[in-house]
Amino acid sequence: MADDERAVGRAAAARAVESIGPAPAQSEDWSRLAECLGVTLWTSFIASCLETGLIFACFDPLTLGSAMGLDVYVAPSVLALRPAIYALGFFVFWLFTFVAASLTAYMLSSGPHES
Amino acid sequence: MSAALDHPAPQAAAGASLYAAHQKVYAREVQGRFARLRALAVWALLGLFYALPWVRWNGRQAVLFDLPARKFYLFGLTLFPQDFYLLTWLLTIAALSLFFFTALAGRLWCGYACPQTVWTEIFVWMERLTEGNRSQQMKLDHAPWSLAKLARKGTKQLLWMSFALFTGITFVGYFSAIVPLSGRLVRLDVSFWEGFWMLFYGFATYGNAGFLREQVCKYMCPYARFQSAMFDKQTLVISYDEARGEPRGPHRSGMPAPKGQGDCIDCTLCVQACPTGIDIRHGLQYECIACAACIDACDSVMDRIGSPPGLVRYATLAGLEGKPTRLLRPRIAIYAIILGSLLTGFAYALAHRMPFDLDVLRDRNTLFRELDDGRIENVYSVRVINKDQHPHTFRLRAIGLPDAQIDSDAPAQRVPAEEVRTLVIRVRIPGGEQRGGRTFRIALEALDRPDLTVTSSARFLAPQTQENP
């Protein structure tokens, strides 16, 4: 009796879930690849944001340039170089952390513990 | 699932009427107290985000992270990269607050304050505006393409994209003064990186809030995975009161539950209202972002059937098991004490921040020089940072180096407000005073603020022996 009612309840819930009708992309489960890609991109993104903040707060790219012998304080327009270096730095960090994260994901999912 | 659907349900008629009622109750669901609270949070947080760059303070943008000049303006405060420790401190405070609130009442952050939730809320609102409520949206999605469908979908996309672009522009406005930026934007004269970050941030908003939504929480968010480590049996979480609700089944409208039956009428509104598509009646699940939409939905149903609210409510696991609920417990107290001391320390550090700073770098090209008169000279590059909003004239002094003299092109260096000056100084000591290396301090004093001195340590090098440097 109670089981019967639960089955009805489940049916109603199933009906309801279908009647909610979320946009098609929302209810689908991600494939393993999409999940790995999403997770690694996102965690490496967060890490590279922090890295960029930390590294460029400690080191001024223009001072690094002048330390390497480049006379970069000449024109004020050169200041515009900074945002470009920050941006490039961010993407380089993201690339490296992404490679590390995907390798980690790959190795953990294919290691002896998994099989 | 289809077999279950085909089940010849005896309550088919009741189910149908309940289903029809869903829509009404569903429409009211957005007016529950938690929905109001979230709407408030959304307006406050997004309002803050979009309005803040336009706020002026002392004739300039109140909050501006001037990356090219490496200066952060926060109202009356100007922060330099040297103040980065304050930011890391702030991040620590933020992380600890997250622990504290999670231990106290679960995922408050997720439900009310996370940018993912806040922006999704606005995008869902735009979707409802153009495509109607959930069942209308579903109908529209299943309908063949028509002019009307194209118009609705097109309007939605237009709204989404413009809002996302506006978001991207606002984001860049935190880094590049927004008033001139908007002027340049009108003339389509933004720099490459400005344009790039506008599109990048706009696209991220559009993708995350328009399409990914709860999938970000479910698949990508690290906090969702480890937040359970901060939970215990005394944490307030959104829970279904199984003892009161089960066995579930339909009631007659306005009548109390039939004998032997729980309060849950299995209307599934809680499931329909859930943005992550879970059934809260299955217990606490990691997908739950604690938005409390199911509480609002259930309370409105309980109200309709004349039962007290709270079948789904904020409750502790201990409370649901009939044990006493203790919100104040060692874990909370420890988090609160650490958080309190960090906040106090932060306020103190901010209030007592030195208005100037000093960086000393040795000249790498020469270790030392012996002058004609026998004195030993070391050369340093000194950066004087005036964080104050007034210009100051500074003097440098050597401490811990007997008879040392500092020689520079300008004996007193005037540094304008919020500026950095780099100067080369020569520190000289009489010959024969010292052999080898020695650490000393260079002190920076403002002539008009003799009470404040900042020092930085440096290394002075002299020949090991007088004859053979």
Amino acid identity, residue B284? L
Confidence of residue B29 (pLDDT cuts 50, 70, 90): very low
**Are the Cβ atoms of B19 and A15 closer than 8 angstroms?**
yes
**DSSP H or E run through B421:** strand B420-429
Look up the CATH number of domain B356-461. 2.60.40.10
Domain boundaries, chain B: 356-461
SS3 labels along chain A = CHHHHHHHHHHHHHHHHHHHCCCHHHHCCCCHHHHHHHHHHHHHHHHHHHHHHHHHHHCCHHHHHHHCCCCCCCCHHHHHHHHHHHHHHHHHHHHHHHHHHHHHHHHHHHCCCCC
- Average per-residue pLDDT in chain B? 83
Residue of B nearest to A68 (CA): B364
Mean pLDDT, rounded, for B230-259: 80
- Interfacial B residues in 95-114 facing A (CB < 8 Å): none
Q: Which of B65-69, B223-227, B441-445 has the highest mean pLDDT?
A: B441-445
- Omega within 30 of 0 (cis) for the link into B247: yes
Give the pLDDT confidence score for residue A65 in this predicted structure.
62
- Please name the residues in contact with B279: beta carbons below 8 A apart, sequence gap of 6 or more: A13, B268, B270, B271
- The answer to whether residue B239 scores a pLDDT higher than 70 is yes
Tokens of B422: 């780099």
- What ipTM was estimated for this complex? 0.71
Residue A71 pLDDT: 53
pLDDT band at A25 (very low <50, low <70, confident <90, very high): very low
**What is the C-alpha separation between B354 and B210, in angstroms, rounded?**
46
In B253-292, the residues whose Cβ lies within 8 Å of chain A are: 266-269, 271-272, 277, 279
CB distance from B226 to chain A under 8 Å?
no
Smallest CA-to-CA distance from B43 within B109, B119, B129, B127 is with: B119
Spacing of C-alpha B455 from chain mean position: 35
The arithmetic mean of pLDDT across residues A65-77, rounded, is: 55
Q: Which residues of B touch A60 (CB under 8 A)?
A: 70, 81
pLDDT at B3: 36
Give the pairing type, strands B392-399 and B369-370: unpaired
Residues B315 and B300: their CA atoms lie apart, in Å, by 18
Closest CA to A60 of A93, A82, A88: A82
| Chains A–B, number of C-beta pairs less than 8 Å apart | 127
Minimum mean pLDDT range among A36-50, B16-30, B124-138? B16-30
Residues of chain B with C-beta less than 8 angstroms from the C-beta of A36: none
Cα–Cα distance for residue pair A66/A84, rounded to 1 Å: 17
Residue B308 DSSP class: P
Of the listed ranges A47-56, B12-21, B36-45, B238-247, the least confidently predicted one is: B12-21
Kindly identify which residue of chain B lies nearest to residue A45, measuring between CA atoms: B220
The Cβ of residue B218 has, within 10 Å, a number of other Cβ atoms equal to 20
- Mean pLDDT over each residue of chain A, to the nearest integer: 72
> Mean pLDDT lowest for which of A48-57, B146-155, B228-237?
B228-237
Residue contact B277–A16, C-beta within 8 A: no
- Probe site for chain B from A3, A26, A36 (most B CB atoms < 10 A): A26
Digit-coded pLDDT (tens) for B94-149 = 999 998 988 888 888 888 899 998 999 899 889 889 988 877 888 888 889 999 99
Tokens encoding B337: 């004490």
- Burial label, A28 (beta-carbon count in 10 A; 0-12, 13-18, 19+): exposed
Q: A interface toward B at CB cutoff 8 Å?
A: 2, 5-17, 19-27, 30, 34-35, 38-39, 42-43, 46, 53-54, 56-58, 60, 79-80, 82-84, 86-87
Residue of A nearest to B134 (CA): A20
Question: Computed from CA positions of residues B425, B430, B432, B433, in that sequence, does the dihedral angle turn out positive or negative?
Answer: negative
| pLDDT greater than 60 at residue A18 | no
CA distance A63 to A73: 9
Which of the pair, B155 or A22, is modelled with greater confidence? Answer: B155
List, for residues B185-221, the tens digit of each pLDDT value. Answer: 999 989 898 999 999 999 999 999 988 888 888 888 8
Cβ <8 Å between A16 and B272: yes
CA distance B168 to B181: 12
What are A71's two structure tokens?
Answer: 């006379």
8 Å CB contact between B398 and B425: no
> What separation, in Å, do the N-terminal and C-terminal C-alpha atoms of chain A show?
43
**Chain B, nearest residue to A14 by Cα:** B1
- Is the pLDDT at B370 greater than 50? The verdict is yes
User: What b/e sequence results for A55-70 when a residue is b if at least 16 CB atoms lie within 10 Å of its CB, and e otherwise?
Assistant: ebbeebbbbebeeeee
- Distance in angstroms (rounded) separating the CA atoms of residues B298 and B300: 5
d(CA B407, CA B428): 8
Contacts of B76 (CB under 8 A, 6+ apart): B57, B58, B389
Strands (E) located in B302-370: 312-315, 356-362, 369-370
B22, B88, B248 ranked by CB distance to A9: nearest: B248
What size, in residues, is chain A?
Answer: 115
8-state DSSP, B457 = E
Mean pLDDT (whole number) for B73-84: 83
CA–CA distance, A113 with B13 (Å, rounded to integer):
53
How far is residue B10 from each of residues B6, B15, B118, B298, B345, measured CA to CA in Å?
12, 9, 42, 24, 66
CB contact under 8 A, B81 and A27: no
Model confidence at A14, pLDDT cuts 50, 70, 90, reads: very low
∠ Cα B261 B307 B318 (to 5°): 75
Residue B460, φ and ψ in degrees, nearest 5: -105, 130
Lowest mean pLDDT among B26-40, B210-224, B267-281, B379-393: B26-40
Token digits of residue B374: 């026998």
